[in-house]
Amino acid sequence: MSVPAKRRSPAGKAELRDRTDNISVSKHITNTGAEAQRQRLLTELQHRAINTIDARRDLNILMLAARVKELRQRGHDVVTRLMDIHDDQGRPHSRVALYSLISGGAK
């Protein structure tokens, strides 16, 4: 799993660039409305699995479990795996949720 690099677009909107395939997707991370968060999350899940810590840092989603629940209610098949990880400061965290989208999209 690659680590996204943060950068600014010419319009000043925050973007992420996936280093493995050079896809750049505008995230509009300043919009904290639930619908905007769901859309950012769904777009990200279509490219990679994401954990709670990365979602806070990269997507500006603080209540990731709530957004995942809402995506599931809309028919998306999102699976959860718990894992032990270290954050950017090297601090250990146990049982952090890692969410993945099963291909096929909404039912």
Entry pTM: 0.71
Where in the chain are the domains?
5-106
Q: What span, in angstroms and rounded, lies between the C-alpha atoms of 37 and 31?
A: 8
Give every CB contact of residue 16 below 8 A, 6+ residues apart in sequence. 4, 5, 6, 7, 24, 25, 27, 58
**Domain 5-106 belongs in CATH node 3.30.420:** no
pLDDT in tens, the chain (107 residues): 444 444 444 444 444 444 334 333 444 789 999 999 999 999 999 999 999 999 999 999 999 999 999 999 999 999 999 999 999 999 999 999 999 999 765 65
